């Protein structure tokens, strides 16, 4: 049963507010396009320009901080794409929510996010990144100024079958059912081997797609800023697709250092459970902010545990995780290489985090060499689950750098990894992987230097306490404090969902 979009009835927000704001949004998009280095790939087409008369809304898929996503039919688009049943082809349509349209500040922020998402996605083409097929035709200012009349800006994308957070719930339920049985030592061994194989399957079927999609985005200097299970989906073929680029921004390389720096301070943006410390504190952040978010996500996929579930208060989360060095316990993470990868990736120092190219070759090596399923690894896994470990979540951070796996960094395990990379990857990945594994064998002096840097970072964080985002609600709420060369700062805190 299809339906049409009806006009939005707002109290106190008249057409003049929409017209002025829409003009400011169009100017912001023009500034982005003038500064952007994004180019359409040769042979690729721009998204099809559509009108609301081309669209038939089917049902609501989900709502976000500023937008609502519908399941829809666009026959003219499906026919252009050569679909055998164009009248039945389903897509996802994203537009501003009623609440956003009726709030002056939210309307500005949400409109810029949606317009820039369309511009960024229109230039990206990768099998692990959602593809945009159509946008509202006409000028941006004209489209957004008609938002109350039911004719606002929209974009049409792939329809995804499932999201990673939904799949995680299924995996957890399956794991819980298995754990309800009392196991003998033999069954424990067999069960541990199955769990390790499950981890390998999740790395291969899910994590690799996320890594490759993010590696591509970073190669285009696109920072997602809100990487989390809710924003990772699976299409009909089961392929991983990263979606929701509403908070994504292009960063610029300054040419003087090895780090990517943003064009401007983009403000606090992301979901607290996954947000990087520098982002949460309102500092300028680069591509490595996504690596931190990925590390938290990777831990969740490996262990099937909700990261930081033991922290209930936002204030406690800010003190321990954002301004401190509290991180998830690695007790149930097999393989010293995964330990080191997680520790490096969620480092409070952005420059110490690996690139997605490095992460890609490490994950590929883990899968290809059967390191997690070979004889002996299950023993470590069982041992970690039965013998208490020293506390990893030390409040003062003094012991947080300790390797709790019982296997020394820089061991023969690392040397095997370093050598085997040269056999399986191209020249650039070889160099990055070797560098990453060499970094793990740091001496005591380097550790002391790192701790000194961490202390300086913490002191700087304390001075910037007043700039820290004013998070409300739970640590799963999306936070958006906007400060991007426009005339006001605003925060909106609402439950973030997905399509």
CA distances to 177, 192, 364, 376, 383 from 185, rounded to whole Å, are 18, 10, 31, 15, 12
Distance CA 163, CA 243 (A): 10
Cβ atoms 468, 399 nearer than 8 A: no
Q: Which two tokens stand for residue 308?
A: 């930081």
Contact 121, 154 (CB under 8 A): no
Phi, psi of 102 (to 5 degrees): -90, 0
Tokens standing for residue 10? 């707002």
Is 87 annotated in a binding site? The answer is: no
Q: Using a CB cutoff of 8 Å and minimum separation of 24, what contacts does 352-357 make?
A: 352/450, 353/288, 353/291, 353/292, 353/295, 354/291, 354/432, 354/436, 355/215, 355/218, 355/287, 355/291, 355/432, 356/211, 356/214, 356/215, 356/218, 356/290, 356/291, 356/294, 357/215, 357/428, 357/429, 357/432
41 contacts: CB under 8 Å, gap ≥ 6? 123, 125
Do strands 132-136 and 48-50 pair parallel, antiparallel, or not at all (unpaired)? Answer: parallel
Q: Which residues, listed in sequence order, are joined to residue 68 by a DSSP beta bridge? A: 63, 95
3-class secondary structure, 252: strand
For the stretch 40-44, contacts whose Cβ atoms lie closer than 8 Å and that sit 24 or more positions apart, written own/partner, are 40/122, 40/123, 41/123, 41/125, 44/125
CA distance 228 to 205: 17
DSSP-assigned letter for residue 253: E
Cα angle value 242/290/114 (rounded, 5°) = 55
| Largest Cα–Cα separation, the chain | 73
- DSSP secondary structure string, 83-140? -SSTTT-EEEEEEE-HHHHTSHHHHHHHHHHHHHHHHHHTT---TTB--EEEEE-S-H
- The distance in angstroms from the start CA to the end CA of the chain is 19
Residues 6+ apart with CB under 8 A from 120: 38, 222, 245, 248, 250
135 phi, psi to nearest 5 deg: -135, 160
Quote the crossing angle between the two packed helices 185-202 and 164-179, to the nearest 10°.
Answer: 170
Positions at the binding site for ATP:
94
Positions at the binding site:
94
């Amino acid at each position: 049963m299809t339906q049409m979009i009806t006009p939005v009835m707002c109290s106190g927000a008249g057409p003049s507010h929409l017209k002025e704001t829409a003009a400011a949004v169009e100017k912001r998009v023009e500034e982005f396009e003038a500064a952007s280095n994004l180019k359409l790939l040769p042979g690729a087409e721009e998204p099809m320009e559509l009108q609301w008369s081309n669209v038939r809304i089917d049902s609501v898929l989900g709502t976000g901080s500023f937008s609502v996503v519908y399941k829809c039919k666009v026959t003219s688009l499906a026919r252009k794409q050569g679909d055998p049943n164009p009248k039945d082809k389903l897509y996802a349509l994203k537009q501003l929510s009623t609440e956003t349209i009726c709030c002056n500040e939210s309307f500005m922020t949400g409109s810029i996010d949606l317009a820039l998402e369309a511009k960024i996605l229109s230039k990206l083409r990768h099998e692990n990144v959602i593809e945009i097929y159509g946008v509202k035709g006409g000028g941006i200012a004209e489209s957004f100024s008609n938002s109350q009349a039911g004719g606002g800006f929209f974009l049409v994308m792939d329809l995804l079958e499932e999201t990673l957070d939904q799949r995680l719930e299924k995996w957890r339920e399956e794991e819980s059912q298995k754990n309800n049985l009392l196991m003998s030592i033999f069954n424990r061994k067999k069960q541990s081997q199955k769990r390790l194989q499950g981890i390998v399957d999740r790395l291969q079927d899910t994590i690799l797609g996320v890594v490759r999609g993010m590696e591509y985005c970073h190669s285009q200097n696109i920072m997602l800023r809100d990487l989390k299970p809710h924003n990772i989906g699976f299409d009909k073929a089961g392929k991983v697709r990263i979606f929701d680029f509403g908070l994504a921004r292009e960063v610029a390389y300054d040419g003087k250092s090895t780090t990517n720096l943003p064009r401007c301070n983009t403000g606090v943006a992301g979901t607290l459970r996954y947000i990087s410390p520098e982002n949460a504190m309102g500092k300028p952040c680069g591509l490595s902010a996504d690596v931190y978010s990925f590390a938290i996500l990777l831990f969740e996929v490996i262990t099937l545990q909700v990261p930081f579930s033991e922290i209930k208060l936002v204030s406690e989360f800010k003190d321990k995780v954002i301004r401190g060095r509290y991180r998830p316990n690695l007790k149930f993470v097999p393989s010293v290489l995964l330990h080191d990868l997680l520790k490096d990736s969620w480092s409070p120092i952005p420059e110490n985090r690996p690139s997605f190219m490095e992460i890609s070759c490490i994950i590929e090596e883990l899968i290809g060499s059967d390191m997690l399923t070979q004889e002996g690894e299950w023993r470590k896994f069982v041992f970690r689950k039965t013998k208490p470990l020293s506390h990893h979540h030390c409040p003062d951070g003094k012991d947080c750098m300790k390797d709790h796996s019982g296997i020394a960094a820089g061991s023969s395990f690392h040397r095997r990894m370093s050598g085997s990379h040269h056999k399986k990857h191209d020249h650039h990945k070889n160099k990055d992987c070797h560098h990453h594994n060499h970094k793990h064998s740091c001496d005591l002096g380097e550790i002391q230097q790192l701790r000194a840097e961490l202390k300086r970072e913490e002191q700087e964080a304390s001075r910037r306490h007043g700039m820290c985002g004013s998070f409300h609600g739970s640590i799963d709420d999306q936070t958006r404090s906007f400060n991007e060369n426009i005339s006001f700062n605003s925060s909106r805190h609402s439950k973030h969902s997905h399509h």
